Chains A and B, each alone.
Chain A
Amino acid sequence: MPVSASQIIRGYRREIYLRGVAVAASLFALVLLVLVDLATGPSGLPIADVWHAILAGPSGGDRMTATIIWPIRLPQTLTGVLVGAALGVAGLQMQTILDNPLASPFTLGFSAAAGFGAALAIMFGTWLPFPDYLAVPISAFLMTLLATSLVYGVARSHRATPEVLVLSGIAVLFFFQALQSLLQFMASPEVLQQIVFWLFGSLLKATWTSVAVILVIGLAVSPVILGDVWRLTALRLGDGTAASLGLPIPELRRRTLVTVSLLTAGAVCFVGTIGFVGLIAPHAARAAVGEDHRHALPLAAIAGSVILVGASVFGKLISPAAAIPVGIITAVAGVPMLFAVIISRRSSS
Chain B
Amino acid sequence: MSAAAGLELDDVTVARGGKLIVSGVTLSIATGRIVAVIGPNGAGKSTLLAAIAGQLPHRGRIHWQGAPPSPGQVGYFPQSADVRSSLTVLETVLLGRYDRLGWHVGDADLARAGEALAELELNHLAPRPMSTLSGGQRQLVLLAQSLVRQPALLVLDEATSALDLRHQMSVLRRLSAYVERTGALVVTAIHDLNLAARFADSMLLMANGRLQALGTPREVLTGEALASSFGIRAEMLLSSAGEPVLVPLAPL
Chain A residues within CB distance 8 Å of chain B: 1-5, 8-9, 11-12, 15-16, 229-231, 233-234, 236-238, 240-241, 243-247, 286, 290-292, 294, 348
Given A12-B105, A233-B91; 10 other pairs, CB 8 A cutoff: A5-B115, A8-B123, A12-B126, A231-B98, A233-B98, A238-B84, A241-B145, A244-B77, A245-B96, A292-B87
B111 contact from A5, A15, A234, A243, Cβ within 8 A: A5
Interface positions of B from 133 to 187, Cβ below 8 Å from A: 142, 145-146, 149
A237 contact from B54, B92, B101, Cβ within 8 A: B92
Interface positions of B from 184 to 210, Cβ below 8 Å from A: none
Given A8-B90, A230-B101, A246-B99, A237 contacting B124 (CB threshold 8 A): no
17 contacts between A and B (CB under 8 A): A2-B123, A4-B114, A5-B115, A5-B118, A8-B110, A8-B126, A9-B110, A9-B111, A11-B126, A12-B90, A12-B105, A15-B127, A16-B105, A237-B85, A237-B95, A240-B81, A243-B55
Neighbouring B residues of A8 by C-beta, 8 Å:
90, 110, 113-114, 117, 123, 126
Instruction: Report, nearest first, the 6 A-B pairs whose CB atoms are least far apart.
Output: A246-B71, A5-B114, A3-B123, A244-B76, A8-B114, A234-B98
Chain B residue nearest in CB terms to A10: B110
Contact yes or no, B53 A244, CB < 8 A: yes
Neighbouring B residues of A230 by C-beta, 8 Å:
95, 98-99, 101
B222 at the interface (CB under 8 A from A): no
Contact yes or no, B107 A9, CB < 8 A: yes
Contact yes or no, A241 B126, CB < 8 A: no
Contact yes or no, B78 A294, CB < 8 A: no
Neighbouring B residues of A2 by C-beta, 8 Å:
123-124
Neighbouring B residues of A229 by C-beta, 8 Å:
103
* A292 to B86 Cα, complex, angstroms: 10
Contact yes or no, A291 B87, CB < 8 A: yes
Contact yes or no, A290 B114, CB < 8 A: no
B187: min CB distance to chain A, Å:
14
**Contact residues of A: prevailing secondary structure:** helix
B216 at the interface (CB under 8 A from A): no
* A207 to B157 Cα, complex, angstroms: 58
Neighbouring B residues of A234 by C-beta, 8 Å:
95, 98
A245 contact from B84, B95, B107, Cβ within 8 A: B95
Contact yes or no, A290 B88, CB < 8 A: yes
Neighbouring B residues of A237 by C-beta, 8 Å:
83, 85, 87, 92, 95
* A286 to B72 Cα, complex, angstroms: 30
B82 at the interface (CB under 8 A from A): yes
B131 at the interface (CB under 8 A from A): yes
B240 at the interface (CB under 8 A from A): no
* A1 to B123 Cα, complex, angstroms: 9
Neighbouring B residues of A294 by C-beta, 8 Å:
103
B119: min CB distance to chain A, Å:
11
A161: min CB distance to chain B, Å:
14
Contact yes or no, B127 A11, CB < 8 A: yes
Chain B residue nearest in CB terms to A290: B86
Neighbouring A residues of B77 by C-beta, 8 Å:
244
Contact yes or no, A286 B110, CB < 8 A: no
Neighbouring A residues of B115 by C-beta, 8 Å:
5
Neighbouring B residues of A236 by C-beta, 8 Å:
85, 87
B80 at the interface (CB under 8 A from A): yes
Q: Which of A16, A236, A238, A292 has the most chain B CB atoms inside 10 A of its CB?
A: A236
B116: min CB distance to chain A, Å:
10
Chain B residue nearest in CB terms to A294: B103
Given A9-B111, A234-B95, A286-B86, A244 contacting B124 (CB threshold 8 A): no
Neighbouring B residues of A244 by C-beta, 8 Å:
53, 55, 76-78, 81, 146
Neighbouring B residues of A12 by C-beta, 8 Å:
90, 105, 110, 126
B131 contact from A4, A9, A247, A348, Cβ within 8 A: A348
Q: Which of B53, B126, B131 has the most chain A CB atoms inside 10 A of its CB?
A: B126
Neighbouring A residues of B123 by C-beta, 8 Å:
2-5, 8
* A294 to B104 Cα, complex, angstroms: 9
* A5 to B90 Cα, complex, angstroms: 11
Contact yes or no, B87 A241, CB < 8 A: no
B69: min CB distance to chain A, Å:
11
Neighbouring A residues of B81 by C-beta, 8 Å:
240-241, 244
Contact yes or no, B85 A291, CB < 8 A: yes
* A3 to B95 Cα, complex, angstroms: 20
* A294 to B105 Cα, complex, angstroms: 11
* A5 to B78 Cα, complex, angstroms: 28
Contact yes or no, B71 A241, CB < 8 A: no
* A303 to B87 Cα, complex, angstroms: 20
* A126 to B55 Cα, complex, angstroms: 55
Neighbouring A residues of B98 by C-beta, 8 Å:
230-231, 233-234, 245, 247
Neighbouring B residues of A238 by C-beta, 8 Å:
82-85
Chain A residue nearest in CB terms to B85: A236
A240 contact from B80, B111, B146, Cβ within 8 A: B80
* A12 to B128 Cα, complex, angstroms: 11
* A207 to B22 Cα, complex, angstroms: 63
Neighbouring A residues of B101 by C-beta, 8 Å:
230
